[in-house]
Amino acid sequence: MKFANHLFISYARLDNAKTDENEPGWVDRFHTALKGYLGYEIGDEARIWRDPELRANEELADEIAAQLPKTALLVSLISPRYLKSDWCLTEIKKFCEAAEAQGGLVIDNKMRICRVMLMPLETAELREKLPGKLKDQLGYPFYDKEEGGRFVRLDPRFGEKYKSAFNLKLAGLAAELAEVINKLEADEKAAPGSKPPEPSGPPKPVIYLAECSWDRENDRDKIWSELRATGYTVLPEQGTRLPDLEHEYAAEVEQLMDRSQLSVHIVGASGGTVLNGPGRRDAVQFQNEIAARKSEASGLRRLIWLPAATSQQPEQQSFIDALRSKAELQRGGDLIEDNLEAFKNSLRIVLKKLEEPPPKKAEAPNAGEQMIYLLCVPGDRPATVALRKFLRSKGFDVQLPVFEGDAASVRQSHDELLNRCDAVLIFYGAGNEAWKWTTRNDLEKIKSSRKEKPLLSVYTYLSSPKTDHKQDYIDMGEPNVINGLDGFSEASIQPFLDTLKKA
CB 282 within 8 A of CB 313: no
For the ranges 148-152, 234-238, 329-333, the lowest mean pLDDT is seen at 148-152
Element (H, E) at 325: helix 314-325
Report the mean per-residue pLDDT for the chain. 84
Which pLDDT belongs to residue 405?
73
Q: Specify the pairing of strand 206-209 against strand 233-235.
A: parallel
- Residue predicted with more confidence, 64 or 419: 419
pLDDT at 57 over 50: no
Helices (H), 356-482: 385-393, 407-420, 433-446, 468-475
* 353 — pLDDT class (breaks 50, 70, 90): confident
CB 265 within 8 A of CB 210: yes
CATH superfamily of 1-193: Toll/interleukin-1 receptor homology (TIR) domain (3.40.50.10140)
CB 330 within 8 A of CB 361: no
Which pLDDT belongs to residue 401?
92
- What letter does residue 448 receive in the DSSP assignment? G
CA 91 – CA 24 distance, rounded (Å):
24
Taking the CA atoms of residue 162, residue 164, residue 167 and residue 172 in that order, the dihedral angle to the nearest 10 degrees is -110
* 138 — pLDDT class (breaks 50, 70, 90): low
Query: Where does CATH 3.40.50.10140 sit in the chain?
Result: 1-193, 200-357, 367-502
Tell me if the domain spanning 200-357 has CATH number 3.40.50.10140.
Answer: yes
Q: What is the mean pLDDT of residues 299-305?
A: 90
pLDDT at 291 over 90: yes
User: Of 3.40.630.30, 3.40.50.720, 1.10.150.120, 3.40.50.10140, which CATH number belongs to 367-502?
Assistant: 3.40.50.10140
Chain Cα centroid distance, residue 333: 12
- What letter does residue 261 receive in the DSSP assignment? S
For the ranges 24-28, 351-355, 462-466, 489-493, the lowest mean pLDDT is seen at 351-355
CA 234 – CA 210 distance, rounded (Å):
10
- Kindly report the pTM of this predicted structure: 0.55
pLDDT in tens, 317-340: 999 999 988 888 888 888 898 888
Half-sphere exposure of 210 toward its Cβ, with a 13 Å CA cutoff?
A: 29
Which pLDDT belongs to residue 363?
43
CB burial class (10 A; 0-12, 13-18, 19+) of residue 277?
middle
Element (H, E) at 8: strand 5-10
Could you give the angle at the alpha carbon of 267 between the alpha carbons of 261 and 269, nearest 5°? 170
- What letter does residue 68 receive in the DSSP assignment? G
CB 152 within 8 A of CB 162: yes
CA distances to 5, 88, 116, 284 from 93, in Å: 18, 9, 17, 36
Which pLDDT belongs to residue 397?
93
